[in-house]
Structure formats: structure tokens, C-alpha cells
Amino acid sequence: MLLLVRTGLSSAAAPPLRKGRSALPQLCQATCRHFAGRASRSGSGALPSKAEEVKRPESAGPEEVAKDAKKPSGPAGTSSGPSALLVLPLLRRPAFPGFYQSLQVSEQEVIEILQTLRRKGQGEYIGGFMTKEPPASDFDVSSGTGAGGVAAAGAPGSGALRRDGGRVANVAELEEVGTVLQIVELNQYPNIAGGQVVVMPRNRIRRTRVVSQPSPHVPLAAVAVEQIEEPETLPEDADARISHAKLSAAFTKLLSASPLHKEKYEQFVQHYDMNNTVKLLDFAAAISMADRQDLQAVLAESDLQKRIEKVTAIMLRDLSFAKLQSEVKGQVEEKVAKEQKTKMLMEQMRQIQKELGIEKDEKQTLATQLREALEGKEVPAEAEKVIEAELSKLNSLEPSSSEFNVCRTYLEWLTALPWGKVDPENRDIAKAEAVLDEDHYGLEDVKERILEHIAVSFLKDNTQGKIMCLVGPPGVGKTSVGKSVARALDRKFYRFSVGGMHDVAEIRGHRRTYVGAMPGKLIQCLKSTGCGNPVVLIDEIDKIGRDMRGDPTSALLEVLDPEQNNTFRDHYLDVPVDLSNVLFLCTANVLDTIPGPLLDRMETIRIAGYVFEEKMAIAKKYLIPQTEEQSGIGAQHLDFQEEALKKLIKEYAREAGVRNLRQLLDKVSRKVALTMVRAKTDESVEQSATVVTPENLSKYIGQPVYLSDRLFTGGMPAGVVMGLAWTSNGGATLCVEARGRLPDGTVKGGMPLPDISGAELAKPEKLHSVFSKGSGGGGNGHMQVTGQLGSVMSESSSISLTYSRLFARELDASNGFLDEAKIHLHVPEGATPKDGPSAGVTMASALISLCLDQPLKAEVAMTGELTLSGKVLKVGGIKEKVIAARREGIKTLLLPRSNEADYVELKEYLRAGITAHFVDHFDDVYRLSFDESKVPALPRPSRGLPVVTVDTPETFSAETPEVLAGSAQEDGGDLQTPAQSSDLPGGIAVPLRTPPLPSSPTAEASGFSS
């Protein structure tokens, strides 16, 4: 806080110190005249130049100290002045001669010693020296008591007295230059320790020596001082005139910028001459808000020219602060004036409207607006009844009440809904199909279903709502297809994600009893779209949260039920809302985490992913043009060769979707953009189109990520079978390895052994000698299964072992390898969790291959669940598995007979070059997967249904499905009308390949397609 600095004749009233006291300026003037009279009668005495320091004991009282400092008879530096002075330390700022200063002292002992000296007529003049270091705090937060011993807790400002003066531990803490202070007024606070001292600084003094240090009994030190003579006038030279002109200009600007300084200046000119440079400098420093050290430097400066320069610098800083303060004040005043003007004009307008009889009440205006919002809407009877009741309630409430705002918000939501408003949708099949094909490549299932929806709406001549769930791996376009569907139907689109959602209120809304309550997402959707038939995409429905905080899936049961959502009740609105015209599209990666009752309400459409040909077409038609445009390089600066694109898809982007493919293309485009920018800065480099080839592809995106899923590129050894698996990212091939060891050390399965002395390796005794070393000998028909398999897959391995033991005995009664050997069955990539029953036939085939020590035919993969009786049951994910087999170049597939329809429904370019055998029993799996000339023949006909073989010629294998369609029309020799297979249910027509007739009667009787 700043010191209270006033001119001698200040007209501003100071706060009274005690009840009944007069204003401070009048007291100061009266007291000053009183002390002046005393000083004139006290005689004369010269100030000594130097004096010996007076030694006194620590217990000396204030009277002894006063005797050591000779009694003053006038201000220091006059003909009569004190030889030594008591020192009052100034904690916040120095005092400048000629201007009253009010000091607050929080130390009670300092006030008491000053009062004691004044009563004895010895304390009229004291020395004021500023401390070298500022106080730790501007306030004294210690709890004190007043003069009467009363606790200061109840006093105003108790415990927070501003400290302008006080005591120090040593005189060395004070500055050398100070001021003689004439005590004008001294007052003790009534209810708090300390008091107020009003002083008039007289002239500058310098401390010459220490008379006495502060002590516990006498808190003030005594020092010998000498007067500092003040320079009278400036020298009459150009520099002096320039300095004085700068000072006057800065002072004038400061007065015009700060009203407070201007008021003090008006008081100053009444008592001092403006041409008195010394007084003007002291006045400018006294009213300044500069740093304490800068002010002390002005006080101590004896050279008048340098003092002018320092004061001028201080005034310029004060001027900048005053301008900023004035600017802020002007902005605030302008804002307040504008608000007051608006308020006044509004009040005048209300008065004019009242006089003319056209005054409108705020509640009436709001009610009119709400009723206008309902015009043209078909509001149901129940909702209309609630709206009327709320409007009546609104009219009875005061606008200032909190209930008024709650009622108003509720009515705004009710009136903002599109009651009965349905946007007309597109009925043009061709237009919708063109929009879907424009936005997405492939996805025939989704497009076909949307076209069916349009056809039904056309025939029924109304708008319908449906609930569909798009299921597929990431990056296949599930979310983006929602926007395309909305555009194809000419409907509004709204999307919200429920991934990780735990709060039921997000779906059904909050109840109005809560502060900040609001409706759920579906009501917000209707208000946002402004129609009753938008396309709503509920994203990530398989990742919705379910725990103790809530189960939003239960709230979705009503939303996604066509029989219930026509009367959906939001907790906030609490009136029925019709959602039956809304087309709901949900997206999910898997269906396992979706509750059964919720899944039952949705029509599931699977998106398996994209094969190589589809990715090629998508990259050429969509991804490459988009990356060229978004990166700013343009088509003329990037030449992506087709062979490089093939390599990119095969070796870098094998996932089911195209998201990673898009990221890789973006990476290539960014590097090309960087090359272009560098070429522009270097004029010597010519800019040309960047050609991406298979050779330099790794320069842009690094080394290939995928080489092959096959563990054995040169053919499968005995005990190893390739299976097909489904994952959330699409299909994949999965090898199953089996190895076994008899108690005598005989080992079967695995890679061929190293050549140890040529043909001797095949001898049993040599095998025994090679593998009998070390621990881990034979067991009693035990099988160990590894590969991080789930419980279902582990059970499948047990079933496969049990059936394989029986099947091996059927082939050869003397073959007891599976009964006696210690077997280890492993599914590679042990860090990846695996589960499911579809690897049953694969595990059984691996065990039979191990038992017979014969590998399977080349290019064979299989999938199917196996039972203890050898039946092959239906499995899922056929499309994904076929895509994975095609990616690895598999030519022969063994699939369950029950999955025949799933395979036939696939597009022909997906099945091109693949021969699929649909088997019902493991007998047919054995016959089709092994070379019959190297393994024992089945002792009986197959126990399953006849095998159905679907052979799609290689002619269908084209670079893109468009080329595929063209080749099918041109090449009439290879694609004749397919034959009818008697083994297919319903007489489904499929291309058949007639294999060579089996040489054995057993195989011939098995019903193999011929």
C-alpha cells in the first residue's frame, strides 16, 4: 500500500482517529502552529560537526537517550537544531521535505516512547531513515492489544495493520540519507496495538555516526546527523534548460493523464512557486508510485541536474502507468454507459408501449413464441395436454424464480421436436444405386438391402424405419456407409457413438428433478435434424459399457424394437415420441459382446472385408485420388505404378479393411510433397512427376510387413496341417503342428532330420540313439497342447485325439502310436489368443498325419467342427476364411457340408481358382486330404453324406471385378452354363470340376462327385 502523502493545506478529509475528533488537516495545521511557537521560544543552538559517541548501558531509559540527543530547539540545519536525533525507521518509502506524511506504526513500544518524550517536551523532531530492505509483509498480522490491554480482535482491521514505520535490530539496516521529521500529531489506537504518527519532513540529513543502538528497553536508535545543503538554482546553460523543459513536459502530461495527481498539484501551487525546482522535484517524488530504491536515490542525490534526470525517469514511468489506468477506466466507463443507455432505452420503450396500450409481458411473449413453434406440427394428444399444462404453469410463475427457467427449458424442448414431420425420401432406385456406388466400392450386401428398403417404401407409399447392424472388421467402411445410405435416401444423418458408454441417461435422458437435466441422444437427434425420419448411426454398439454404473444396452432394447419404439418415452420429456420412422444403422466388429435380446432386434449384415482385387479397385478409384488432393500434390506429380500398388497391398496392407492402405498411401503422398517443396526452394532441381515403382516402394514406406502366412514354403511335413480361422480383423490361415515320441525314443512329425551317415538314419535303432538323449522321454498316451488356446479349442483338441486314436485303429489295428506316444500339439503364434471349435478337423488331420508319418496333399486347407462320432459340423466366417485362403494361394478347401450355401453365395471372383469340397464326415476329409497311394485305404464306405465339390475355373481370377465381368461375357468357351449337381439342395447350379474316378471301390461308393 502507498503512504498517505498530503500537502500542508490539503482539503481532503482523512478518516477520524477517535470519535469526536476533527478532520486531520485541521489538526495537522493547528499542531504545526503549536510546535512552531515552541520552537521560536526555545533559544538557539548550533549543530555540532562531529561528536563523540555516547556510551550508555542497555538498561538506559528513554530519558537518558533524550539527554544524549540534545534537546532540539528548531529544525536541523537552521541556526538552532539538534546535535543528534532519535531514528524512526521508514519501512515502505522515504519522506521528502515539505509534504505531510501519515505513518502507521504497529509496534506499541515505539508509540509509547514517542508519547513519553512528547510529554517531557523532548520528542518534537526525530530522524526518518528508510530501511535498505523492504519488510517481509506490508501488514502486521500479529495479534496485539490496545493501550488499555483490550484484545484487538474486535477492532476494525484487527491483525492486519499497515506498517509504515517500526523498529529495526541495528542501525546498519538503514540508509545513510534521511529526513528530519517534525511530529505534528501522535495518536494511539484505542483497541489495537500501535498508532498513527503524522509528520512534516523538514530537510535532508546524513547520518554521521551512531549514538546508540536499539535495545529491548529503548526500541529507537539515536544517531548524529549533519544537514545536506539544498542547491538553490540551476546553472544558466542549455543542458539545464533542456532538463527543466523535459521535467515540465513530463509533469504536464502526468497531470493531464491522472486526475489524482492533478488534484494534488492544485494544492501544491497554492503554497509553492512552480519555478522552485527543488520543491517541484520533491513534490513529484512524494506523489510518485515508483520503487522505494528509486525514490531513495532521488532523496540522496545532491547534484540537482542528476536529480532532475532521475525524477524525470520516474515521472515517465508513472505516466505510462497512468495512461494504462486511464485506458482501462475509459473502457469500463464506456461499457457501463452503454449498458445504462440500453437499460434506459428499454425502460423508455416499455413506458411508451404502456402509454400506447401495446405493452407485451415477457411471459406472454414467450408463450406466443412457443405456440408459434407448434404451428404446422401434428402433436399427439398426450404431448399436447402436457404442453398446455406447462404453459399454464409458466404464466403463474415469476420470471425471476428458478422454477420458471426449468419450465421454460422443458417447453422449449417439447416445442422444438418435429411432431409428425417426415421428410420425403428418395424413391428412385437408379439414383440411390448410383449414390451408393459412387461412395463405396463393393459392399453388395449393404447396397442390395438399402435398395430393397427403397422398393418396399415405393410399393407401400410411405416412409419406414428399420434396424440394421453392420458387422465387420475395422476399416471396411461401416461408419462411412451410414452417410452414403442417408444421401441415397435423401434423409438427414445423425451419428453418435456408444463405445464405453455407461450412463443410461445418455439414451433415455435425465429426470427433470436433477440440476442441468437434459434429454437423451435420440431426442437431441430429432431436434438437431428437424425431422422424424433421419438415418441414425449408432457406432461401436459392441463396445458399450455394462457395469454397476448402468447398462445402456437395456435402454436400447426399447429404442431398437420396431414394436415398441413408436411410443418411446424419454425420462426428461416423459411423453411418447414416435421413432418408428427412424432408420437405425448400428456398427460392430464382433457380435459376441452384444447381448442376445438386443442382437435379436437387429438385422445383421456382415461385411467380411476386401480381397486383393477389391483393394486394387478401391485404391485406384478412391484412395489415390483422395490422397493426391488432400496432400496438395495433384495427379500430375505422382505416378503410382500398378505393380507397386500390388506389392503395397500384398506385402504391407493385408488387413481386411483399407484403413492401413489409406495411411500408407498418405505416407507416400507426404514424402512426395516434401520432395516437391524442397525442389521449389532449389532452382537448380527440375520438378517432375514422382514415379513409385516396386523397387523404390520401400524408400517411402519402409520394409515389407508381410511375406507369407505359411510356415513351410516347400510343402507341409508330416503332422502339420493348414487350417482356416476367423478373427475380428478378417480371415487368416492357421497351421497346426503335432509331434510325438514313443517310449523307445521313436519320433514322428516335424521337419526332415539331418543326414547322419546317409541311409542309416532311417533305421529304428539309429532313431533311438539320436533321440534318446536328454530328458523328456515317452509317456503313456499323453498329449500336451500349447499356443494360448481357449477352453473351447482345448476341448476340441481332446475330441480330436480321442477320435484320431479310434480312427487310426480302424485303418491299421496294429498302429498304436497315438495310444502310446507322448504327443505335443501346438498352434503357432503363441502370443495370440485363439478359441473356437472350427479347428477340430484340422487337429484330427494333424494327428492322423503324425500317426501315419505322411504329409497331406499340397495346397490343402480345411475348417470344421469335429464330433466324437466323426461328423463335421457347420462353422462361421466362411467368407473371411475363403479370402484368407485365396490370399495364400490355396487351391483346395475342405469345408463342412452345412456351409455349402454360404460358399456358393460368394462372388465368383472370390472363388476363382479354388476347388471346395463339402464333407459331412471325417472319412471324406481323410480320403481327400491324403495321397491314397501312400496311406491305408478306408476299410468301408464313407459314413457321411456324399461329397459336393464346387470348382470355380481360374478364368474368374481377374485383376478387378469389373474385368471379371467383362471376361465372363467374352470368353464363352470356358464359362458354359454350369452343370446341375444332384448333391446340392434345391438344385443349386455351380461350376463343377470332374476329378479322376477313384481307383478303389471304396472311394467310388463314397458318393464323390463325378
**Residues designated as active site:** 838, 881
Can you tell me the distance from the alpha carbon of 917 to that of 995, in angstroms, rounded to the nearest whole number? 11
Q: Are 534 and 493 in contact (CB under 8 A)?
A: yes
Measured over the CA atoms of residue 856, residue 862, residue 867 and residue 871, the dihedral's sign is negative
Q: Specify the DSSP element, H or E, that contains 774.
A: none
Helix 922-929 with 840-852: angle, nearest 10 deg: 50
| 1004 three-state secondary structure | helix
Q: Which cell numbers in the block locate residue 493?
A: 444423418
User: In the chain, helix, strand, coil percent, each to 5?
Assistant: 40, 15, 40
**Residue corresponding to grid cell 523492504:** 134
Residue 411 gets which letter from DSSP? H
Q: Are 106 and 88 in contact (CB under 8 A)?
A: no
Q: Which cell numbers in the block locate residue 588?
A: 460392430
| 665 three-state secondary structure | helix
The edge-to-edge listing of strands for the beta sheet with 535-539 is: 493-497, 535-539, 583-588, 467-471, 603-606
Dump the DSSP string for 961-978: HHHHHHHHHH-TTTSPPP
Can you tell me the distance from the alpha carbon of 231 to that of 302, in angstroms, rounded to the nearest whole number? 8
Can you tell me the distance from the alpha carbon of 729 to that of 734, in angstroms, rounded to the nearest whole number? 14
Residue 623 gets which letter from DSSP? I
| 573 three-state secondary structure | coil
Q: What is the largest CA-CA distance in the chain?
A: 154
Q: What are 894's strand-pairing partners?
A: 862, 917
Can you tell me the distance from the alpha carbon of 206 to that of 744, in angstroms, rounded to the nearest whole number? 114
> Which amino acid is residue 527, in one-letter code?
K
**Residue corresponding to grid cell 498316451:** 781
| Residue 197: alpha-carbon gap to chain centroid | 60
Cβ-based burial of 78 (10 A; exposed 0-12, middle 13-18, buried ≥19):
middle
Nearest Cα to 490, choosing from 427, 429, 426, 428? 426
Nearest Cα to 666, choosing from 624, 703, 634? 624
Q: Which cell numbers in the block locate residue 828?
A: 503357432
Q: What are 823's strand-pairing partners?
A: 740, 783
Nearest Cα to 949, choosing from 981, 985, 906? 981
Cβ-based burial of 931 (10 A; exposed 0-12, middle 13-18, buried ≥19):
exposed
Q: Which cell numbers in the block locate residue 80?
A: 538552532
| 783 three-state secondary structure | strand
Query: 985 Cβ partners below 8 Å, 6+ apart?
Result: 900, 901
Q: CA torsion angle for 743, 746, 750, 756 (degrees, to 10)?
A: 140
Pairing relation of β-strands 161-162 and 139-140? antiparallel
Q: Are 131 and 173 in contact (CB under 8 A)?
A: yes
Q: Are 396 and 414 in contact (CB under 8 A)?
A: no
How many residues belong to the chain? 1010
Q: What are 100's strand-pairing partners?
A: 6
Measuring CA to CA, how many Å separate 486 from each of 491, 494, 534? 5, 9, 8
